[in-house]
Amino acid sequence: MSLIDLSHDFETSVLERVLAKGRSTGAGFSEIFIEDKRAMGAGLDDGKVEAVSNARSSGAGIRVINGETTGFAYTSDLTEKGLMAAAEAAAAAASSGDGGTHTVSLQALTRQQVNNIRIAPTSVPKARKVELLTIANDVARGIDNSIVQVSASYGDSERRILVVNSDGVFATDEQVRTNFRITVVANGDTGMQTGFDSLGYTIGFELFDEESIEELAQRAARQAVTKLKARPAPSGAMPVVIKCGSGGVLFHEACGHGLEADLVARGASVYANRVGEQVASPLVTLVDDGTMTREWGAIGIDDEGHKAQRNVLIENGILTDYMWDHIRSRQEGRAPSGNGRRQSYEHLPMVRMTNTFVMNGTENPDDIVRATEKGVYVAKLGGGSVNTATGDFVFGMTEAYLIENGEITEPLREGNLIGNGPQVLADIDLLGNDFAMGNPGTCGKDGQGVPVGDGQPTLRVKSMTIGGTAA
C-alpha cells in the first residue's frame, strides 16, 4: 500500500483551523506533526528464514506550548475531526484561558532533497531480499569450520512527515532507509567468539549494487575466527589507537549528548556554560551534520520542520555551539539547528544528534601505529554508557589488538575502554587523514530511539584505561 502524499492530501485550510484550535485557550505556539511510515524486515537464524514482517503506522501528534507548559496529544485518526479533537486535548493541557482567536498563514517550504532513491525497496520482490540472507549465511559458514551460528537481518523503511506550526512552518520530508546486519559465532578452545558487521544508508535497494553482502559476511566471520586465538586484554592506562570509523560512537556518547541544549539547560552536561573555552585537543573539530548525503542520520528536515544543517560544535578544540530544538532555541533567542527529533508521531521532539563526527587530521594512519611503542589498537567498539554530567564512560571493545614496537600484533579478547569524555578529547595527540563513517546506529534517549550516524579518522589517545583481565 502506498504511503500518503502528505504535501497534497491535507488541505491548508484544515491545518490552519487545527493550529488555531491549539491556540484557542491562549497558547503562544501550536504544531501538527503528521507521519506515515511503513517498514519491512526479514531475519535468518541457523540457516532458516524465521521472520518476514511488514508494519505500517500513521498518525498525528499535536503540541501546544503556553509559556513553560507543553500540552501534547496524538491520534491515529487523520480526519479533520480527529485532528481537532487532539488539538483540543493538547490545548486544554497547556491552557491559560485567554480564549483569543489566532490566525496562521502557512507557506510551503521548498523541500530540501538530501538523498536520491534509485531503486525503491517496495519495488523489489521479498524473495530477492530473503536471498541476500541466504547468501550471507553460506559465505560466512564457508570461511571456517569453527563457525557454528550465523544470524542475519534485512530491513527497509519509508517515512513521510509533514510539520506545520503557528509560526507559519509548512514542511515535508520523505526518508528511505535500507540496512543489513550479520552476526557470526565461532567455537574453539577459548569458547565462543562473536563477529558482527552491518550496512545501512538512507538510500534504496541500490545499496546492494554498491556494497557486497559477501564481503560483509566474510568480515564478520573472520572477526569471530580471529578472536578464537585472542589473548586476554591487558589492564591499566596506556595509549589507544582507534581505527577510522569504528570510534565515532565514543564521541557520540562521550561528548555528543553533552552538547545537546536540553541537557545543558538542565545542568546535566559537563559542557554547560563553556562556549568559547578549550574543551579538546586543538586537533579536534567535531561536527553534527544532518545533510550528509546517504548517511544513516541524514534528514531533509528535523521533526519540527526545520531544515537539517551542518553544525560545527567544536572547532580546533574550542567549544563553539550546542545543538538546538525549537523550545531551547526560542528560550535563548536564537535559530534552531535542525536537531529537534522524535521517534514517531506518538512522541514529543527533543534535541538529538544526526550524523556526528570528528573531522580529518593530517597523519598517515600507519604512522600513528608506528609511533605507538606499546598500546591497544581498537578496530571496533561495541556498546557503552556515559554520565553526561561528568563525562565518565565505559565502552566495550568488540575487536582489538595489541600494539608492540609500533606494530599491530595479537588479537585481544573483549575488554572495556574506561575514561572521561573531556579528558579523552584533550588527550588526542595524533589524528589521521583517513576519515570514515561507522556502522548505522540507533540512539536511545528518554525512551526514544532515532537513527544516527557517527565517524572519525584513525586517532590516538595518549592514555586511556583498559579494563582487561590480563595481569
Give 462-471 pLDDT, tens digit per residue.
999 998 776 5
Query: Contact, 464 vs 238, CB < 8 A?
Result: yes
- pLDDT (tens digit per residue) in 122-146: 999 999 999 999 999 999 999 999 9
pLDDT of residue 101: 41
Share of the chain above pLDDT 70, in %: 96
Residue with more model confidence, 252 or 430? 430
**Taking Cα atoms as reference points, which of 395, 406, 409, 405 lies closest to residue 229?**
409
pLDDT of residue 99: 44
Least confident of 98-107, 108-117, 337-346: 98-107
- pLDDT, mean of residues 346-357: 97
- How far is C-alpha 471 from the chain's CA centre? 37
Query: Contact, 394 vs 416, CB < 8 A?
Result: yes
Ordered alpha helix ranges (H), 10-107 = 12-22, 80-93
pTM: 0.94
104 — pLDDT class (breaks 50, 70, 90):
very low
pLDDT of residue 110: 58
Ordered alpha helix ranges (H), 122-185 = 126-141
Q: Using alpha carbons, list the distances in angstroms from residue 469 to 7, 210, 367, 402, 425.
A: 57, 41, 29, 14, 26
pLDDT of residue 383: 81
End-to-end CA distance of the chain: 60
Q: Given a cut of 60, is residue 406 above it in pLDDT?
A: yes
pLDDT of residue 96: 57
386 — pLDDT class (breaks 50, 70, 90):
confident
Q: Given a cut of 80, is residue 402 above it in pLDDT?
A: yes
Residue with more model confidence, 99 or 168? 168
Supply the mean pLDDT for the chain: 92
Number of other CB atoms surrounding residue 297 within 10 Å: 27
109 — pLDDT class (breaks 50, 70, 90):
low
Query: Contact, 41 vs 154, CB < 8 A?
Result: yes
277 phi/psi in degrees, rounded to 5? -95, 155
Q: Given a cut of 50, is residue 103 above it in pLDDT?
A: no
- pLDDT, mean of residues 82-109: 70
Domains of the chain, CATH where assigned: 121-161+168-227 (3.30.2290.10), 236-467 (no CATH)
pLDDT of residue 106: 54
- The conformational region for residue 191 under phi > 0 = left, psi -120 to 50 = alpha, else beta, is left
Q: Which three cell numbers stand for residue 173?
A: 520530508
- pLDDT, mean of residues 241-263: 92
- pLDDT, mean of residues 451-455: 97
- pLDDT, mean of residues 64-80: 92
- pLDDT, mean of residues 318-340: 96
Q: Given a cut of 70, is residue 97 above it in pLDDT?
A: no
pLDDT of residue 253: 86
- pLDDT, mean of residues 396-422: 94
